[in-house]
Amino acid sequence: MLEIINLHAGVQGNEILKGIDLKVNVGEVHAIMGPNGSGKSTLAQVLAGRESFAITEGRVLYEGRDLLARAPEDRARQGLFMAFQYPVEIPGVTNTYFLKSGLNAIRKHRGLEELDAIEFLQLAKERAKLVDMDESLLNRPINHGFSGGEKKRNEIFQMAVLEPKLAILDETDSGLDIDALRIVANGINKLRRKDNAIILVTHYQRILNYVVPDFVHVLIDGQIVHSGGKELALELEERGYDWVRDDAEKAIVSS
Amino acid sequence: MIETVERKSKSISTGIDWYLSSFRLFEESLNGKAASQIHSIRKDALARFAALGFPTTKNEEWKYTDISPLTKYHFKPMLKYSLEGLTARDVEQFTFHNLPSFRVVCVNGHFSEQLSTLSGLPHDVRIESLTDMLQSDSDIIREYLGKFVSYENDTFIALNTAFLHDGVFISIPNNTILKIPIHMIFISMESDSEFVSHPRSLIVTGKNAQVSILESYVNLTDRTYFTNTVSEIVLGENAVLEHNRVQLESTRAFHIATIQTQQERNSNFTANSLIFGGSLVRNNLNSVLDGEGAECTLNGLYLGTGSQLIDNHTTIDHAKPHCPSHELYKGILSGKSKGVFNGKIKVRKDAQKTDAKQTNKNLILSDDASIDTKPQLEIFANDVKCTHGATIGQLDEDAIFYLRSRGVSLEKARDILIYAFASDVIDRIKIEALREQLHEIIHDRLERERQ
């Protein structure tokens, strides 16, 4: 589904991603872990099409086709979704109005009929239940005056409405208390299917207790230095990142 | 070709003369009715106009607005009422489908009885042609016309007053609440030459009266034209008046407007100024809070596209104590358009407990668009609350990306955010049909700009 090949990207001449290779197949959940500043969020944003990052080398194939040349909205229409680490507050635009525009653009692209306001509201209410989101938030301006937890739920709610094929969740767990984390994780699990894939970008192991990944990758200084199964997350939690970093350096020296 | 150039260069120095000679034509057209009291006011105003001349950018009040393009034209004065085949059907396009209203139509500044629909109007509410009122020389005209608006120091008010002949007179008597709004439609139309009209309105609301007014400035012409309008609005004690103004002049129009309001005790005035049209636009909105507890709210939205220049000058004169005023003007400027906002708040010595709040926010959509914004506070009382703030910003890139990442196109994302920026002004408008129309207008204008 997704193939990242030697991806280099940065901002204003500063290289942040220094050759990422990653393959994600349909039905898989991948966790990307790493310390602060390792490039996790940059990777998520580059995949979603953030234009402030310059891609200097490498390729990304999504469903076998070049992803990087496409506009963010085209990526969304082709089934890619990113839950933002810091969801943007947009006063003056209601949650439902904007999400209906997005969903209908996606549906149109998929050859489905557009939903009218009533049909959309029905769907939205039903999906809001997945993340225990208060219905009153649907008609509030996007993320405006939402608590941190409400913003994160709103991201997963949007994912539930848009039904992406590939969802990249950028630190959706950060800043959540344990109850909110359970609710959000539960929502993600309900959206996990055989015909989609999820990339969980996270700083903490905790969410992986609830959303169990098939693969765990460690991103340090713009490179994936170690990959393994779900048990790798526990090891990272126990031993920190230094041993992976040391191992990686040794590997470079010995080669 | 050479001839045209010569004529234009000559007209720079003779800008005033052109109007003086137009005035002689105007006098002739009055057919001997030039002996009235009103005509001496006209002549006095004309003399003032000639003495003042057209303001230049050296004049502080016109610092950012160069009106020299306006002075180069020889606008034909539209002295006679003529429909030139215009029918009620043609007017339909300027009305709101879901909005019942008493309709007043003015064609080139002349009140059209034929096109106006005033049936069902309560018998004591008067909506009439100003010409008829001038001829009847009634007390109400003598009491109010020109009383609060002064042409002493204003070229364009002087010019409007010199050519004062027709327009709209509205009177809402004491204790009358008009539930249906009055929609005034000012149509500019002429195909033969460049032309000017000087519409004048006088709106007098009595004690405890309540009315909602909607003014549309529209056109049916490809010609360059000039609308020079003056409205006088008087609010009696405890009266409530909402004044919505939708300016949709053509891209070739010059539009200069003065609205002067006078508020008595506990009256409440709201202005929603929605400015979209015109190549060179200057709005002067002056409100005098002349009774304790009077309140005024000035909301403005201006959208500049192409090379439009839109200048809004507002003055709120707190003359008496305990008066709140609220002002929110928002500008969206794209292309090479230019905006000017000058908000003056005057608090006189006796106007204690004044509570004035002024905000001007601007959204700049292109590198070539610009705004000059200036608050101007003149405070002579000591127990007052006055706040003002101005911002100039661009569309938030993070917000655009957020919307796009959910499948919304770049253009639609920009539209959504622009509309969101305007929404807090639009949401204050009580007439739903107007709010809906604004959505379309903004969308259409920005769409056109992109092409």
Do B399 and A48 count as a contact with CB atoms less than 8 A apart?
no
pLDDT at B7: 42
CB contact under 8 A, A105 and B408: yes
> Mapping DSSP to helix (H, G, I), strand (E, B) and coil, where does residue B136 land?
helix
**Three-state helix/strand/coil letters over A6-60:** EEEEEECCEEEEEEEEEEECCCCEEEEECCCCCCHHHHHHHHHCCCCCEEEEEEE
Residue B219: CB partners within 8 Å, gap ≥ 6? Answer: B187, B188, B189, B225, B248, B249, B250, B253, B277
Q: For B420, which residue in chain A has the nearest alpha carbon?
A: A92
Contact assignment for A162 to B410 by CB distance below 8 Å:
no
Is B84 within the bounds of a domain? yes
Average pLDDT, chain A: 92
Nearest to B297 by CA among B306, B287, B305, B307: B287
**Residues A81-111, buried b or exposed e (16+ Cβ, 10 A)?**
bbbbbebbbbebbbbbbbbbbbbbbbbeeee
Question: Which chain A residues touch B397 with a CB distance below 8 Å?
Answer: 52
Determine the residue of chain B that is closest to A71 in CA distance. Answer: B404
The strands making up B295-304's β-sheet, listed across from edge to edge, are B110-117, B102-107, B182-188, B210-219, B240-247, B268-275, B295-304, B324-333, B355-364, B385-393
Show residues of chain A in contact with B332, CB under 8 Å: none
- Do B158 and B200 touch, CB atoms closer than 8 A? no
- Determine the pLDDT at residue B32: 67
Tell me which residues of chain A have a pLDDT lower than 70.
251-255
The residue segments making up the domain with residue B224 are 2-290
B183 with B95: CB under 8 angstroms? yes
Out of B398, B404, B412, the one facing A71 most closely (by C-beta) is B404
Residue B372 lies in a domain: no
| Number of neighbours of residue A44 by Cβ within 10 angstroms | 21
**Residue A34 token pair:** 């790493």
Tell me, yes or no, whether B129 lies in a domain.
Answer: yes
Residues near B102 by beta carbon (within 8 Å), at least 6 away in sequence: B117, B118, B120, B121, B127, B178, B180, B181, B182, B183
A107 to chain B: nearest residue by CA?
A: B407
Q: How far apart are CA A143 and CA A95, in angstroms?
A: 8
Residues of chain A neighbouring B413 (CB-CB closer than 8 A) = 73
**Residue B382 corresponds to which tokens in the numbers above?**
């000591």
- Return the domain boundaries, chain A: 2-254
Three-state SS at B23: helix
In CATH, what class is A2-254?
alpha beta
Distance CA A145, CA A148 (A): 9
Closest in B398, B410, B421 to A88, CB measured: B398
Q: Report yes or no on B180 lying in a domain.
A: yes
B230, two tokens: 């003056």
Residue B107, in any domain of the structure: yes
Residue type at B440 in one-letter notation: E
Residues 6+ apart with CB under 8 A from B100: B180
d(CA A101, CA B162): 54
Contacts of B181 (CB under 8 A, 6+ apart): B99, B101, B102, B211, B212, B213, B214, B431
Q: Which residues in chain B have Cβ-Cβ distances shorter than 8 Å to A81?
A: 405-406
Where is B342: in which H helix or E strand? strand B338-347
Report CA-CA distances (Å) from A3 to A48, A67, B279: 14, 10, 54
Contact assessment for residue A124 and residue B428, using Cβ atoms and an 8 Å cutoff: no
* Cα(A138)–Cα(B416) distance, integer angstroms: 17
Number of A to B CB contacts under 8 A, please give it.
80
**CB of B87 within 8 Å of any CB in chain A?**
no
Listing from the earlier edge strand, what are the strands of the sheet with A197-202? A80-83, A166-170, A197-202, A29-33, A215-220, A223-228
CA distances from B185 to A65, B79, B235, B249 (A): 57, 19, 22, 12
> Can you give the pLDDT at residue B428?
93
B405–A82 CB contact, under 8 Å: yes
Task: Give which of A86, A90, A120 to mutate to test B binding, by max B Cβ within 10 Å.
Answer: A90
Q: Within 13 Å and on the Cβ side, how many CA atoms surround A212?
A: 3
Q: Do A72 and B419 touch (CB under 8 A)?
A: no
pLDDT at B294: 97
Give me the residues of chain B with pLDDT under 70, please.
1-14, 32-35, 137
pLDDT given for residue B132 in this prediction: 84
Residue A95: per-residue pLDDT: 92
Mutation site, B328, B408, B419, B438, interface A, largest A CB count within 10 A? B408
3-state secondary structure of A126: helix
Question: What does the alpha-carbon distance between residue B260 and residue B316 come to, in Å, rounded to a whole number?
Answer: 10
Cα separation, A221 vs A35, whole angstroms = 9
Q: Which residue reads 């990304």 in tokens?
A: A60
Q: Is B57 within the bounds of a domain?
A: yes
Q: Which residue of A has its CA nearest to B415?
A: A93
Minimum distance, in Å, between the CA of residue B274 and any CA atom of chain A: 18
Assembly ipTM: 0.95
B399: left (phi over 0), alpha (psi -120 to 50) or beta: alpha
Which secondary-structure segment (H or E) carries A125? helix A117-128
Does residue B313 lie in a domain region?
no
- Preferred mutation among B332, B406, B419, B442 to probe A, highest tally of A CBs within 10 A: B406
Q: How many domains does chain B have?
A: 1
Q: Does A98 contact B416 at a Cβ distance shorter than 8 Å?
A: yes
CA–CA distance, A225 with A221 (Å, rounded to integer): 9
